[in-house]
Homo-oligomer: A and B are copies of this chain.
Amino acid sequence: ENSVKLYNLYTHWLPKVVAYFFILLLLSLAIFEKPAVPGLEIEYYVTMPMEVICLIVIGSRLFHLKLFSPGKTFYSDKKNLVVMATMVVVVIDMISYIALVNSGQAMYAYRWSRPLRPLLLVNIKEGRQIRRAFRNIRRTLPDILNVLVLFFLSIALFALMALKIFERRPELRLYTDNSPYFKHYGDIYFQLYVLVTTANSPDIMMPAFDSNKWFSLFFIVYVVVCLYLFMSIILAVIYKNYRKHLKNEIKKSVFIKRVKLERAFNELKEEVGGKSVVTEKTWYVLMKEVLPNKTQVYYSLLWLVLDKDANGYIDQKMFLQVADLLNVEVSEIRNQKHLIEKYWPHVYNSSVSIAVRQVVMHKFFRYFFDLAIVVNAFFIGFNLDEAEWFFLSVFTCEIILKLYTYGFSEFCRRFWNIFDFIVISAAFIATIIEAALEELQYSRETLDVLLVLRILRLLKLVGSIDRFKIIIGTLTNIAPSMFTYGGVLFVFYYVFAIIGMEVWGTMLSGDVNITFCNNPKLNGSEFARDHYCNNNFSDLLTSFVLLFELMVVNQWHVLTSGFVAVTSAWARLYFVAFHLLVVIVVLNIFLAFILEAFMLESSLSTGKFSNAVEEKIKEM
Listed in ascending order, the chain A residues whose CB lies under 8 Å from chain B are: 146-147, 149-150, 153, 157, 160-161, 164-165, 168-169, 175, 185, 198-203, 205-207, 209-210, 213, 216, 220, 223, 227-229, 232-233, 235-237, 239-240, 243, 377, 380-381, 444, 447-448, 451-452, 455, 458-459, 462, 467-468, 470-471, 474-475, 510, 512, 530-532, 534-535, 541-542, 545, 548-549, 552-555, 587, 590-591, 594-595, 597-599, 602
Chain B: which residue is nearest A459 at the CB level? Answer: B157
- Do A202 and B552 have beta carbons less than 8 Å apart? yes
Q: A161-B452, A239-B599, A545-B216 are in contact. Are A554 and B202 (CB under 8 A)?
A: yes
Chain B residues with CB under 8 Å of A168's CB are 444, 447
Q: Which residue among A240, A474, A512 has the maximum number of chain B CB atoms within 10 Å of its CB?
A: A240
Q: A201-B552, A233-B598, A458-B157 are in contact. Are A213 and B534 (CB under 8 A)?
A: yes
Q: A209-B545, A233-B471, A471-B146 are in contact. Are A555 and B202 (CB under 8 A)?
A: yes
A132 to B265, alpha carbons, bound, how many Å?
56
Chain B residues with CB under 8 Å of A510's CB are 210
Give 6 nearest A-B pairs by CB, closest first: A236-B598, A232-B594, A198-B554, A201-B554, A202-B549, A175-B531
Chain B residues with CB under 8 Å of A161's CB are 451-452, 455
Chain B: which residue is nearest A215 at the CB level? Answer: B448
Chain multiplicity (copies): 2
Chain B residues with CB under 8 Å of A185's CB are 381
Chain B residues with CB under 8 Å of A458's CB are 157, 160
Chain B residues with CB under 8 Å of A552's CB are 198, 201-202, 223, 227
- Residue pairs across A and B with Cβ atoms less than 8 A apart, 17 shown, are A146-B467, A160-B380, A201-B553, A201-B554, A202-B552, A203-B530, A210-B512, A213-B541, A223-B548, A228-B590, A232-B591, A232-B594, A233-B474, A236-B599, A239-B599, A243-B599, A554-B554
A575 to B83, alpha carbons, bound, how many Å?
53
Q: Is the interface of A mostly helix, strand, loop or mixed?
A: helix
- Do B202 and A532 have beta carbons less than 8 Å apart? yes
A304 to B446, alpha carbons, bound, how many Å?
84
Q: A160-B455, A598-B237 are in contact. Are A213 and B545 (CB under 8 A)?
A: yes
Chain B residues with CB under 8 Å of A594's CB are 232-233, 235-236
Chain B residues with CB under 8 Å of A228's CB are 587, 590
- Do A206 and B534 have beta carbons less than 8 Å apart? yes
- Do A553 and B198 have beta carbons less than 8 Å apart? yes
A75 to B613, alpha carbons, bound, how many Å?
50
- Do A534 and B209 have beta carbons less than 8 Å apart? yes
- Do B223 and A598 have beta carbons less than 8 Å apart? no
Chain B residues with CB under 8 Å of A554's CB are 198-202, 554
**Shortest distance between the CB of A467 and any CB in chain B (Å):** 5
A591 to B229, alpha carbons, bound, how many Å?
9
A98 to B288, alpha carbons, bound, how many Å?
92
A590 to B227, alpha carbons, bound, how many Å?
13
A345 to B240, alpha carbons, bound, how many Å?
53
A165 to B444, alpha carbons, bound, how many Å?
9
Chain B residues with CB under 8 Å of A590's CB are 228, 232
A594 to B555, alpha carbons, bound, how many Å?
28
Chain B residues with CB under 8 Å of A512's CB are 210
**Shortest distance between the CB of A535 and any CB in chain B (Å):** 7
**Shortest distance between the CB of A450 and any CB in chain B (Å):** 10
Chain B: which residue is nearest A468 at the CB level? Answer: B150
A228 to B542, alpha carbons, bound, how many Å?
21
Chain B: which residue is nearest A211 at the CB level? Answer: B512
- Do B555 and A201 have beta carbons less than 8 Å apart? yes
Q: A150-B462, A233-B594 are in contact. Are A545 and B220 (CB under 8 A)?
A: yes
Chain B residues with CB under 8 Å of A452's CB are 161, 165
**Shortest distance between the CB of A388 and any CB in chain B (Å):** 12
Chain B residues with CB under 8 Å of A475's CB are 229, 233
Q: Which residue among A157, A164, A452, A467 has the maximum number of chain B CB atoms within 10 Å of its CB?
A: A164
**Shortest distance between the CB of A459 and any CB in chain B (Å):** 6
Chain B residues with CB under 8 Å of A150's CB are 462, 468, 471
A149 to B466, alpha carbons, bound, how many Å?
13
Chain B residues with CB under 8 Å of A236's CB are 594-595, 597-599
A235 to B587, alpha carbons, bound, how many Å?
14
- Do B591 and A164 have beta carbons less than 8 Å apart? no
- Do B542 and A213 have beta carbons less than 8 Å apart? yes
A469 to B380, alpha carbons, bound, how many Å?
61
A419 to B289, alpha carbons, bound, how many Å?
72
Chain B residues with CB under 8 Å of A553's CB are 198, 201
A357 to B487, alpha carbons, bound, how many Å?
61
- Do B595 and A235 have beta carbons less than 8 Å apart? yes
Known: A165-B451, A201-B552, A240-B599. 5 other contacts (CB 8 A): A146-B468, A202-B552, A203-B555, A210-B512, A239-B595
Chain B residues with CB under 8 Å of A157's CB are 455, 458-459
A512 to B175, alpha carbons, bound, how many Å?
12
Q: A451-B165, A554-B554 are in contact. Are A462 and B235 (CB under 8 A)?
A: no
A164 to B233, alpha carbons, bound, how many Å?
43
**Shortest distance between the CB of A39 and any CB in chain B (Å):** 12
Q: Which residue among A160, A210, A213, A552 has the maximum number of chain B CB atoms within 10 Å of its CB?
A: A552
**Shortest distance between the CB of A538 and any CB in chain B (Å):** 10
- Do B198 and A235 have beta carbons less than 8 Å apart? no
Chain B residues with CB under 8 Å of A146's CB are 467-468, 470-471
A239 to B5, alpha carbons, bound, how many Å?
51
Chain B residues with CB under 8 Å of A474's CB are 233
